[in-house]
Structure 1
């Protein structure tokens, strides 16, 4: 787990240093232009939907519901872990955007224009943090493979939607994913001694039958 903290943060800090120096990344503009040449009305609607689902209002509402459910089930330690991991990722994203101040791409008029700084992508970081944290909480579920698969597809879809709409560079999205891995892994490492009763969340009846 430690390498899941150190390696992502090393990559993220290196990328941040490049951004502060005003340097771009190979393939950033080319990738956006390639995607834009393949735009269709159907894809417009699909990626607008995905970008809305991965946006702050939906993510914050979903995170609040999950945290409330954990508290209602008396899983307060899990609720703390979930809240710090997901909420902390959102706060970290805001701070990074303000410190780095990367200007958004302006290659065409976007269907969903943005005015805030670009690096790292908040949609990519927020969706990845929520899926990663929920995946760790549900690590003992019999459905974990399906859940991880669907979660990964959702995170990927949200990230691609930001590129398709022309409001982020690929490096913004990758940085958001990498920062989420580093942050959530670090929070999990700190909370792991207190997260031994995960099975009760998935199998409450089985857990209650134990002596």
Structure 2
């Protein structure tokens, strides 16, 4: 092993030893990801077989279509735009700039890029594989193309919001009430965007739940990876050098 590689290896071992990576947190995160994968597989099986949770899809979609109100429809149209990929990309970039400035590290930015790019690739792949038709045209309040399952808006907002808030609260304010507000805002936004897709008639409820599960699962993967790699990115903080004690 060359000297630079040997030094890098020793530095990595020292950082991990000093930081004591919370292995329990990593293990719990991995368990959560596995559980979400099982849930997603079950929903997918229901969609392919047309049973289980899908029994509620058409009744709920029709109920929403029959109970639309002009003002609420306007609000839902505006809210659903948050889940569009260009908007999510802008929100991700803004959040990662905040994290990079506060944490003086490029590693969280990489996690943010993976959050956005990863969810998009998974959603496109599953959509092409499943090709589920969207709800009937008479029930739609806005135009929508492509496969219905899973909801890309639901998956994207879940993945980006969860990863962004985790990184911001990790590097940002330490006051619990500020963190509580940040997490509450994220969950409310995730729920609201998901509901807007069903309300506007472009997705079935099972599409939304599957999107939430997919996005949360991907966020969980990045949480596990980010937690495990924390010593390395702390050691490569911008404007700092890790020196031997």
TM range (shorter): 0.7 to 0.9
- Partner Cα distance (1:63, 1:104) in 2: 28
Cα distance 1:156–1:182, how it changes in 2: closer, same or farther (>3 A)? same
Give the length in aligned residue pairs: 200
Counterpart for residue 172 of structure 1? 207
Structure 1 segments of 4+ aligned residues over 6 angstroms from their partners:
none
Residue in structure 2 matching 1:80, options 92, 110, 118: 110
Counterpart for residue 70 of structure 2? 41
TM-score (norm 2): 0.74
- Partner Cα distance (1:17, 1:121) in 2: 16
Asked if residue 186 in structure 1 is aligned to residue 193 in structure 2, the reply is no
**How far apart are 1:110 and its partner, in Å?**
2.0
**How far apart are 1:157 and its partner, in Å?**
1.0
Compute the RMSD of aligned alpha carbons. Answer: 2.3
Asked if residue 2 in structure 1 is aligned to residue 30 in structure 2, the reply is yes
Larger displacement relative to structure 2 (147-156 or 162-171): 147-156
Counterpart for residue 31 of structure 1? 60
TM-score (norm 1): 0.86
- Partner Cα distance (2:233, 2:73) in 1: 40
Cα distance 1:197–1:39, how it changes in 2: closer, same or farther (>3 A)? farther
Q: Could you say which structure has the higher helix fraction?
A: 2
Partner of 2:144: helix, strand, or coil?
A: coil
- Partner Cα distance (1:56, 1:99) in 2: 20
Counterpart for residue 185 of structure 2? 150
CA-to-partner distance for each residue in 1:175-204, whole Å, 9 max, x for gaps?
0001111111112212212235999xxxxx
**How far apart are 1:118 and its partner, in Å?**
0.5
Note the residue ranges of structure 1 that are not aligned, 5 or more in a row: 200-210
